[in-house]
Each structure stands twice: as C-alpha cells, then as structure tokens.
Structure 1
Amino acid sequence: MSRLTSHTQHHNAVPLPISAEQPLYGRKPTSLFMQACLRLAIYAPLVAAMMSLVMHDAHHFGDVGFSEASWTEHMQSTLLALSAATMWLVHSRLPDLRTISLLLFGLFAASLIREQDALLDGMIGDGSWQFLVSVVAIPVIIGVWRNRSRFIAEFEHFGRSFAFGLFGAGFLATYVFSRLYGRSEFWETLMGDSYLRSVKNAAEEVTELFGYTLMAIAVIEIVLLAIRMGRQRRALLRELNAND
C-alpha cells in the first residue's frame, strides 16, 4: 500500500480512478445548482463585454471595421494568449491534468500564431506562421503521444466535466461553424448583387470571437477541475495511508 501511495504522489502520477457510483466531486444537487447560477452570473457579463467591443467595431465599420486592427481581432489574440498561458501553468503546477493541459496549450498557442499571420508575413516572410506553428505543435504532439496512457486516464475525468462541454462548444464554433458560416459562396447567395465582403468578414470574425470566448471560459473551468481533482486525490491518499 505504501508503494501505491508513493507512486501516486509523484508529479507524473496518473489520476486515481473514480467509481461510476461515486459522485464526481461529492457535491449535492443543491450545491451544484447554486454553483451553476454563480457561473452564469459571472460568465454572462463576460460575453456581454465581448459584444460591446464588437459593437464598437460595428460603429467604426467604414474605418477600422473588423480588420486586423479591430478590437475584435485584438480580443481574439488576447483570449488565445491568456488561454495558452493558463494551460501552461496548469501543465506545470497542477499534475492531475498534465497532458490534457499540454495538448490544449499547443492548440491555443498554434491558434495564436495563426491569428498573427498578416503580421508575421510582413515581418518574416510569407507562410512563416506555418513554420512557427510546427515548432509549437510537433513537440506537444510528441509529448502527449509519449504519455498517451496518462492522457486517456485524465480524459476519463475531463470528458465528464462542464469544462469539456464548454470547450467542445467553443471548438466547434471556432474551427468548424465559423469557417462554414464565413464562406463567400454562402454570403454571395444570401446578399446577391449587394454582396459586401466586409459584412461576410464581420460575421465570421464575430462567430470566431464567440468560440474563443467559450474556450477561454472552459479554461477557467479546467483550472477549477484540476484543483478539485488534486484535492480529491490527496484525500484518497490520506485515506489509503490511514488504512495502511
């Protein structure tokens, strides 16, 4: 038993399993409902603040609009930078979601680089963002693959969490829906002779920003999830030690 305890306390230990009958975090339905209401009270104003920046760009549609210099674009980069930095901190400091957070760090960092494609093309050269994305993505993928057993164990917890639902919604909104919604063919069919590429760009960028916002909120939930998992693991280890 002591060998098990020593192993699971190690920084790279695989999270301890939770039985199907055991509540994931041991909280009562009333407590979960109150926390859901608190989340709504916090996250709804964040979304409203995001839309106020979008409205600012709409008021300056003929000037800056939704170009690379817009608040919408700046907010996208800011959310990606904060999300990437937070996931790296989780990877470094909260070992219960060590490989999940590493993979998400790679996704956010690569997306941040991709968002700077125009700047990088001007400063370094055409297509330079692709090389930089590879520099980030390849080591991350290798690291996750080497720890794939741990990744699967972590996903047992992450896949059942509110954070995963939020992240999945944001991922689909950003990387699937916004790309299809922003197709020129769709907007040309919709607007006919009145087609304006700037309107198409606005719709795509705002949808993309909302997806990034959902994923940024998911990042907050991932931090909370990792903290709760750590507490639960330590409580279980104390119980195992007490029974040893």
Structure 2
Amino acid sequence: MSNTPPDRISFRATCLRALAYLVIIAALMEGVMQEAQQLDYTQFSESGFTELAQSMLLLLATGLALSVRVWQRQLPNVALLLVGLLGASLIREQDAWLDTYVFDGAWQTLVALLVLPVLFVVIRHRRAFVTELESITGTFSFGLFAAGFLTTYAFSRLYGRSALWQEILGEHYLRAFKNAAEEVTELFGYTLMLFAMLELVLLVRRRLITGR
C-alpha cells in the first residue's frame, strides 16, 4: 500500500494533466474560431458549435459525477448534489429545444423534478454531506470546480450583460458580440467543471487503492 497521500498528485502526473487540459482547451477554442467565421444564422446560436460543445461537456461531467455516486460509491451525498447541479445545467442548455418540441416551460419542470429530490436527500443527510465536503475542499478537484462554477454562474453572466457591451461598443454594438462573450465564457466554465469531475474520479480511485 502506497504511503503517498491520495489527495496529492505527483509532479509528472500534474504535467501530463496540464498538457492534456491545454490540448482540450485549444481544441475547443479552435472550434469557437471556426464558428466565428460562419456568417450565417448558426453563429453562436443554439445550433452552433459553442452551444453543442457546452451540452457535451455537461453530459460528460454529469456522467462522471454519477459514476462516483453509483459505481465507485464514494462521497454519495456530494456526488448526488453534483449530479443534480450538472444535470440541471444540462437540461437548461436544452431550453430552446424543449420549449419548441415538448412544451413551453418543459425545462423548468424537468429541472424541478431533478433538483428537488436531490436537495431533499442532501438536506436529510446534511451531516454526512458536510463531512464529505470537508474531505475534498483542499483538493485539486474542488478548486477546479469552484473556479468553473464562479466562471459559469457569476462571471459569464456579468461579462455578458448587454449594457456592458453597449457601453464598450457604443454605436457599433451588435448582439453577436454580447452572445459570443457570454457563451464562450460559459464554455470555459463548463470545461473547468468537466476537468474537476475527471479529477474527482481519479481522487476517489486513489483513495480506494490506498484505503484512505
């Protein structure tokens, strides 16, 4: 059994992950560049690359959080809350499709059906939740998730305000600038949260191996 604390990452592993994450970010931004060069209705729209990439990132992140909860059976309450948060975000990203092809307000209904039971379970087991959360607050996974959460749900909303871009661009203001700023920032936030879920899976595996 290794004496290395499971929450620590070796220098070699850190460098490899940093390289992998940089490649993923570069690939995503190349996709954004290709979308920006499209001069039709798909540019930064619901059917554009950025929106589709956001959904894919959220789908992968939700699946990884679910694996921690179901298959690895670690951090059950924290993992459940992550599934609820990421799953709700995934549903929210499909709002236009759901409102058009299911019924108006479908995404709100689906989010409520997911989030309310999750919150009920987490609140019911709040002591265990706090203990689990405290066990990961000093990890790389938690730091990445916190950064991604703040980027997506705080910074992107403020950075993507129409009023801000109207002040910056003045008479040259176009909604496309505002949409691009907000959507690309969201994309980066979701990318960080996917990285966080990858790190959480690896952390849980290390803890299982070391028995800590």
| TM tier relative to shorter chain | over 0.9
Q: 1:45-194 to 2 correspondence within 5 Å?
A: 45-194=23-172
Question: Identical aligned pairs, as a percentage?
Answer: 48
Is the Cα–Cα contact under 8 Å of residues 6 and 203 in structure 2 kept in the other structure? no
Partner of 2:6: 25
RMSD of aligned residue pairs (Cα, Å): 1.7
Partner of 1:18: none
Q: 1:190-205 to 2 correspondence within 5 Å?
A: 190-205=168-183
Q: TM-score, normalised by structure 2?
A: 0.94
Change (3 A) 1:135 1:42: same
1:26, CA displacement in angstroms? 7.7
Partner of 1:228: 206
Is the Cα–Cα contact under 8 Å of residues 96 and 229 in structure 1 kept in the other structure? no
Q: Quick check: which has more Rg, 1 or 2?
A: 1
1:95, CA displacement in angstroms? 2.3
Per-residue deviation, residues 83-132 of structure 1 (Å, max 9, x unmatched): 11121111012222211111101011100111111111111222221111
Structure-1 separation of matches of 2:62 and 2:104: 25
**83-92 vs 147-156, which moves further:** 147-156
SS in structure 1 of the partner of residue 74 of structure 2: helix
Per-residue deviation, residues 117-170 of structure 1 (Å, max 9, x unmatched): 111111122222111100000111111112222211211221110000000110
Is the Cα–Cα contact under 8 Å of residues 53 and 187 in structure 2 kept in the other structure? yes
Counting matched residue pairs gives 210
Structure-2 separation of matches of 1:97 and 1:61: 46
Is the Cα–Cα contact under 8 Å of residues 170 and 210 in structure 1 kept in the other structure? yes
Per-residue deviation, residues 157-197 of structure 1 (Å, max 9, x unmatched): 21110000000110011000000000010001111111100
Is the Cα–Cα contact under 8 Å of residues 174 and 208 in structure 1 kept in the other structure? yes
Change (3 A) 1:180 1:143: same
Q: 5+ residue gaps in structure 1?
A: 1-21, 237-244
**78-87 vs 199-208, which moves further:** 78-87
Structure-1 separation of matches of 2:80 and 2:114: 11
Structure-2 separation of matches of 1:135 and 1:26: 34
